[in-house]
Structure 1
Amino acid sequence: HVRDAMDLKRMMIMVVVALGPCFFMALHNTGYQANLAISAERGTPLDNWREGVLTALGRGHDVGNFLDNMALGALYFLPVYAVTVAVGGLWELLFSVVRRHEINEGFLVTSALFPLTLPPTIPLWQVAIGISFGVVIGKEIFGGVGKNFLNPALTARAFLYFAYPAQISGDKVWTAADGFTGATPLGALGTFQIETAAPDTSVLTGYSWWDCFLGFIQGSMGETSTLACLIGAAVLIATGIGSWRVMAGCVAGALGMSTLLWLFGSASSTAITVLPPWWHLVVGGFAFGTVFMATDPVSAAMTDVGRWWYGTVIGVFTILVRCINPAYPEGIMLAILFGNVMAPLIDYFVIQSNIKRRAARYAAG
């Protein structure tokens, strides 16, 4: 029998294929949210070059028109993606020349993931700075693909969040319409103070659970749809690229911690603290981070048992950050970076436990 080992290039291409549904939602939902705000007269078209291109294409702002939504979404997402590929690719080329090796295919995934984690209104110069930090500091400074201990795309986003918070968080960045302000579901839940019983989540956020599951909500361009992420997860698991243990650990950790807070949380806290567990799985970037970021084979735990613990730590930490720090309702980014740092230690203790157990078994025999 011939064993067909999947090489790095095919692996990276398969990850990009798995991201296909998220790319689709990035285009459609970005345009849909902007056209929805404009149609409802809660905002006006942004006065920039995109309106001229949209008019030249014969498209408008009809929220019920699929092509109008896709065209407007593409005019916001594609420039972000192009800048990411151009600037990040330039750094990859520079380091490949200095180190005298080929450009690694790993950048395909980084350049696909990073734009999906950004809001549509992000300035393009900040995209360039962010991907530069992610590629150089998050990966190349450690020796390149396979030697970095942090996820480069997540490192880039974390840098932008702490360096330019006004352009990557808040209520004004999620919808590409001038004069429109609106919080993401997590943002609304994180700031609403409850006094007695928690209000209905759908009423408070303005979205139903199914809206959040399908992805027709405000948020980062490619992170809103849990359904799109589940399709990607099926592809990654079927091809053996993404670890189902990590994904299951993240879900188990998040459900466990959110259930404890839901059952025993204080009645005088924010609404997100007593949010039903099943809501935590469909709001924010939890699904996207669990499927595409936490499963990064380079920065995740290596052992099977370690992957369970690694995923569980990320799930628990995500809920803790969401609930304990109302100023930062989205916790998946910090949770995964924390998990990346802890992964070698988790593997160490798992291996040491196996060694001790085996030694005890031999001694008893």
Structure 2
Amino acid sequence: MNFIKNIFENTKPYVQKGAKYHWLHSVHDGFFTLFFVQKNTSKSGTHIHDYIDLKRTMGMVVLALVPAILMGMYNTGYQHFKAIDELASTGFFEIFLFGLLKVLPIIIVSYGVGLGIEFVFAQIRGHEIQEGFLVSGMLIPLVMPVETPLWMIAVATAFAVVIGKEVFGGTGMNIWNPALVARAFLFFAYPAQMSGIKVWVAGSQATDAITCATPLGDAASGVISYTASDAFFGLVPGSIGETSTLAILIGAVLLIVTGIGSWRIMLSTIAGGAVMGLILNAFAGSASLSEANQVFFAIPFWHHLILGGFMFGAIFMATDPVSGSQTVSGKWIYGFLIGILAVLIRVVNPAYPEGMMLAILLMNTFAPLIDHYVVQGHIKKRLKRATVSGRTA
């Protein structure tokens, strides 16, 4: 590592302001701080810096995503060979390798386009490279169907970085979760490529023989063909990283233990989804419901927690520290409402059976308002106590 560090130290004078390659300063600094901690101190106030900076925090989130990434790669190959009826004759490594070769280009395009734009904005503004895209660059591929064309991944990533983040000032200033902005952009701009029975299985665009819907898509048509265990372990069609509840929960444990992710938001989101599921179960037998709606209303509440992108959204999307609620009480309210809305949207509207994306984006919008009223509530309580204490005195 000292050899690498020496390379950065020796080339640093060439990228300083006024030097020949000064336009590469942000790129040089970004790669240096990816591996090493800067020797900077504050110009005023506290001079002690925690070694757990933003890059290390983002790196921990990426590490927590690894189980979902690996399971997503395996499931991509699993669904492909299952659809062409060759699963029994295909080994584990062949299945995983197929998925790896399908998913890796999507990840490369996401990081290539996103980081490229980040570098340009950082250099233009004369700022350090923002580290937030280390996570967004991985989240974007994981919330996409495996058959999403690479050019669409590139366009969506560019839209998410420029419109979803940079126009607000960059990392730490964005209103909405950038990865969900990318997915929402594709969903509304190219609905044909983001829905239907072929987008979930790799190779389905090459032949009409492969047709497969997600468990939520099946439920919308009045049929449930996947078991709860399939959904929990992730052996079902769906977006690359959203299918395996087990892999997602492993990541959740890492985020909670390290203090990176808010367990309050995770728990309240799950609680909100469960409560809404129970409420809707109570109306499952209503004669006014259509057949498709009756199937959705009758789904056990805990099934909602392991279907679609609910758990992935609760663990990795809703807990975004920038676009989510900041106050302790606000986190409970924010997460609970996300769970309520996600299940409500998917059940009441069978035409759009996955509501987690819309629920999180909507609550991202209202998160500052939630925090505002929480803070104002605390202020009023303290003023009231101060007034009572003053009168008593």
Aligned match of 1:330: 354
Question: What SS does structure 2 have at the residue aligned with 1:261?
Answer: helix
1:72 aligns with 2:98: yes
Offset of residue 102 of structure 1: 2.0
Counterpart check, 1:187 vs 2:187: no
User: Cα 1:230–1:133, aligned 2, differ >3 Å: closer, same or farther?
Assistant: same
Structure 1 match to 2:78? 32
Q: Does the aligned pair in 1 maintain the 2:283–2:297 contact within 8 Å?
A: no
Q: Residue 208 and residue 97 in structure 1: after superposition, are their counterparts in 2 closer, same or farther (change >3 A)?
A: same
Measure the CA separation in 2 of the matches of 1:80 and 1:62. Answer: 28
Contact kept in structure 1, 2:235 and 2:243, CA below 8 Å: yes
1:318 to 2:348 alignment: no
Q: Distance in 2 between matches of 1:99 and 1:119?
A: 35
Matched to 1:31, the amino acid is G
Provide the secondary structure at the position in 1 that maps to 2:306.
coil
- Indicate the larger mover: 111-120 or 175-184: 175-184
Residues 1:107 and 2:113 are matched in the alignment: no
Aligned ranges 1:11-26 → 2 under 5 Å: 11-26=57-72
Amino acid at match of 2:305: L
Structure of larger gyration radius: 2
Q: 1:253 aligns with which of 229, 251, 272?
A: 272
Q: Structure 1 149/276 Cα, relative in aligned 2: closer, same or farther at 3 Å?
A: same
What is the DSSP-based 3-state SS (H/G/I as helix, E as strand, rest coil) of the residue aligned with 1:281?
helix
Which residue matches 1:57?
none
What does 1:218-237 correspond to in 2, within 5 Å? 218-237=237-256
* Cα drift, residue 217 of structure 1: 0.3
Q: Distance in 2 between matches of 1:87 and 1:230?
A: 29
Deviations 1:249-275 (A, max 9, x none): 101111111100001233533211221
Structure 2 letter corresponding to 1:132: A
Indicate yes or no: 2:305 matched with 1:281. Answer: yes
Q: CA deviation at 1:6?
A: 2.1
Tell me if structure 2 keeps the 8 A contact 1:84–1:128.
yes
In 2, the alpha carbon distance for the partners of 1:281 and 1:188 equals 16
- Cα distance, 1:16 vs. partner? 0.3
Give the equivalent residue in structure 1 for 2:387. 363
Matches within 5 A, 1:63-212: 64-176=90-202, 177=204, 178-179=207-208, 180-192=210-222, 204-212=223-231
Q: Distance in 1 between matches of 2:370 and 2:259?
A: 22
In structure 1, runs of 5+ residues without a counterpart are: 41-60, 193-203
| Correspondence 1:347 to 2:371 | yes
> Residue 7 of structure 1: which of 53, 56, 60 is its match?
53
Aligned 8 A contact 1:113 1:153 in 2: yes
SS in 2 for 1:19: helix
Structure of higher RCO (CA pairs closer than 8 Å, 6+ residues apart): 1
What's the offset of the Cα at 1:191?
2.5
State which drifts further: 24-33 or 169-178: 169-178
Superposed CA deviations along residues 292-333 of structure 1, whole A, max 9, x for unmatched, are 000000000000000000001100010111012111100000
The runs of 5 or more residues in structure 2 that have no matched partner are 1-47
Q: Deviations over 1:122-171 (max 9, x none)?
A: 11110010000100011011000000111111100100000011111111
Alignment: residue pair count:
333
CA distance in 1, matches of 2:366, 2:273: 18
- Cα distance in structure 2, aligned partners of 1:207 and 1:151: 30
Root mean square deviation of aligned Cα: 1.4
Cα 1:63–1:93 shift into 2, 3 Å: farther
Structure 1 residue 64, shift from structure 2 partner: 4.1
In 2: Cα distance, 1:118 partner to 1:297 partner: 22
In structure 1, give the amino acid aligned to 2:258: T
1:245 maps to a residue whose letter is R
The superposition leaves residues 3-32 of structure 1 with CA deviations (integer Å, 9 ceiling, x where unpaired) of: 946210100000000001011011100001
Percent identity over the alignment? 51
**Shift in Å at residue 188 of structure 1?**
1.1
**Runs in 1 of length 4+ with deviation above 3 angstroms?**
2-5, 61-64
